[in-house]
Structure 1
């Protein structure tokens, strides 16, 4: 028998739809931009409409990006809407994964659906990084320097991998064409296939739902699509983002002050900033642990554990049942506490990417701020885990107390003997959101 097809008209279900609709906006705007962008690092003298850079040597990639911004009708709108759609897409995928994690939507039979969304997150981040390289501006130069350092830190094969990407010299002339084809062909096709697979799994297993789920009419989903597209267009119109003409063309070994990556890559920047400068010599070769651990080991381990979590929970809880009804976070205290610990770990690394800005703003030592984050990324998740677990247990205990003694109404009655008692109302488990007891 196929599972229930209805689902709850609940705000937490909107994140997945917003991710899909943002991806559609990315496809439309990306197709437009490909007609005018030139992925070529050959140097030319800029003769376009932006006067401050007139007669400055730039790459064809940078010149075509300026042409899109100033000379193509609607080009700047498309560039900015495309960039905003990337940020919203990754944010929506992250929020959707959090909703799935805290409600247990990854349990059987939806383990593969969980992996699809993990894959979409990783691919969305990769698409953002590769797309950010294409304008060949100063921010692109900083990102390329970071990518070069990360690849060179890989033991034994780092130099070879760097040669495959950059050629004989960095930044070389082949890295932008490689990232271009990854960005416009390979990554979008894989992501589209994952969305198709997700849709097939959804038709096969049905929606997960809260108790008392109601059907959402298709028109509501269509309205959300138009709203998402309209908001991204509005952001592209009034909210400036990535003004490459202000950054200037890429210059190897040079980066602007205060340059930071897009928000979803902030954790990587923060991890590198607070990692101690460890560089031991192994077998006569130096190993740059100060880059290898924060840039490859920590993210790799984090996403591996995240992808494997459904199997790990099933193994430890020995729960092999099929689950179509979602949990409330308090009903799975350990899982919720682990989620809070993971969010704390990610958030602290993300905040550490601004350690210099924090030190400057609050007039404190950069050394002290860095050490604070070094300690916090270890102690913070542990503290968040324990506090969240105790909070969930307390909420469950409060519910059990209400079930046993009733809900306090605030009404006080005086007995004939002169005593005072508060009136309570008996509660029963009723099919509400998450099975919340209601009077």
Structure 2
């Protein structure tokens, strides 16, 4: 007789809940107990965002979001007596006058870079494993939204100190806004509150940076949590873990390992903020319209935009008496707009092309989806080439090459490179899957040769035995 049938209803339900197998999609006891290393990117993004909130709250107390000009009389000698904005002076005071201010500034900056990097890696993991398939398509869009919000927060945060790097970002915003057909000039005046750079851009960026963007980010994280509780966690089919491994320890104390990961993230960011200098605004000086800073580069997450602008030919058209600056419009608006649109629509495109409308709770290995992996490699190559093109002048200078030749190389490579990456990656994936099928049928080659009684030679093959279980994640 079945033991569960003899128990009361509540006890029987509790036993069934405890006996739930990893193959069941809902429930988190098993999925949280054994995390694949690639699933930690999402956790790192959350923990880096927490660091951003804490350090940002500290910086907000001392920062003055005003473009009113004052005379600097602080402790940094080379700038004493120079006319600067209140935003720049308050940032200098944060760095040199406030106890722990420079550490908080640098930790905040590093946390922003790590936050965007973790989101990017999380999206790559979801793409290559097919984690965006039904019923988790909205989760895919949430991570894309988090990436866009993180990039917007990074740009607005760069503008706030009103140093020379801030001026470079403002110039880019002005150029991109003015390139929009028909409404570009009026929109620029609306954004800057008058003539560039105006007096309102830093206060507006400030409230956008500390309220609107963090609020939207918190909302997306909350929605992601609800979706996880509704749909459960995705899982890898991997060889069953042995006792004593990391997975077993994770089963024993899932919360303890999460706390350890949070403390490790905080520790790494603190070490970076302590020993690796970043955004030293006193070396750049205050922003003055018309001045430029040699060697100024954007944050790594905006490098693709800078590279696209650098390699775009200086085309300009006249449409019905209105100038159309393609040299800025195409690389700064059309290319990134098309890239993120395709990225967001890819799950729907894949369902339409493959006809796969099934619900998926298990993840694919990248090699098992050769076409998807090839598409991902092509996208990475396209992004990477644009990112590298942002350093075309440095490449030409350090390798003693012609800047003209380097620029044309990138112009050609952004078209041919993704195609080559797709073909090579797809072939590699197909080779690996075919080899596994061969090993499953004939066994794995051991390299040991056996001579038969008749004098013939043959290689010994050992059978391939795979016991699969589910390794879960959210």
CA distance in 1, matches of 2:133, 2:442: 34
Question: Could you say which residue in structure 1 is the equivalent of 2:80?
Answer: 54
Larger Cα Rg: Structure 1 or Structure 2?
A: 2
Residue 325 (structure 1) aligns with: 362
CA RMSD of aligned residues (A): 1.3
Q: Say whether residues 1:18 and 2:44 are aligned partners.
A: yes
Measure the CA separation in 2 of the matches of 1:282 and 1:396: 53
Contact 2:96–2:102 (CA under 8 A) maintained in structure 1: yes
- The residue number in structure 2 matching 1:168 is 194
| Compared CA separation, residues 4 and 398, structure 1 to 2 (3 A) | farther
Q: Is the CA contact 1:3–1:324 (under 8 Å) kept in the aligned structure 2?
A: no
Shift of 1:409: 1.2
- Which contiguous aligned blocks of 4+ residues in structure 1 show a shift greater than 4 angstroms? 212-216
Deviation larger for 362-371 or 415-424: 415-424
Unaligned 5+ runs, structure 1: 435-439
2:287 is aligned to 250
Counterpart in the other structure of 2:142: 116
Pair 1:206 & 2:232 matched = yes
Per-residue deviation, 1:433: 7.6
User: C-alpha displacement at 1:253, in angstroms?
Assistant: 2.0
Could you tell me which of 223, 226, 232 is aligned with 1:197? 223
> For residues 337-374 of structure 1, what are the alpha-carbon distances to aligned partners after superposition, in whole Å with 9 as ceiling and x for unaligned?
00000000000000000000000000110000000000
Within 2, Cα distance between the matches of 1:65 and 1:9?
41
Return the alpha-carbon distance in structure 2 between the equivalents of residues 433 and 143 of structure 1: 46
1:228 equivalenced with 2:251 (yes/no): no
How far has the Cα of 1:428 moved from its partner? 3.8
1:311 aligns with 2:334: no
Q: Which whole-Å CA distance do the structure 1 matches of 2:75 and 2:272 have between them?
A: 24
Across the two proteins, how many residue pairs are aligned to each other?
Answer: 434
Instruction: For 1:96-175, list aligned pairs within 5 A.
Output: 96-175=122-201
Structure 2 residue matching 1:320: 3-state secondary structure = coil
TM norm structure 2: 0.90
TM-superposed deviation, 1:418: 1.2
1:89 and 1:36 mapped to 2: Cα distance?
A: 24
Give, in whole Å, the separation in 1 of the partners of 2:422 and 2:188.
40
Tell me if structure 2 keeps the 8 A contact 1:211–1:432.
Answer: yes
For structure 2, list consecutive stretches of 5 or more residues without a partner in the other structure. Answer: 1-23, 241-246
Q: 1:3 aligns with which of 20, 26, 31?
A: 26
CA distance in 1, matches of 2:364, 2:467: 15
For residues 50 and 148 of structure 1, the distance between their equivalents in structure 2, rounded to whole angstroms, comes to: 31
Residue number in structure 2 paired with 1:430: 467
1:264 counterpart residue number: 301
Tell me the distance in 1 between the aligned counterparts of 2:48 and 2:335: 29
Task: Report if aligned partners of 1:106, 1:114 keep a CA contact under 8 Å in 2.
Answer: yes
Deviation at 1:168, TM superposition (A): 2.0
Listed one character per residue, the Cα deviations across residues 109-131 of structure 1 (whole Å, up to 9, x for unaligned) are 11000000000000000000000
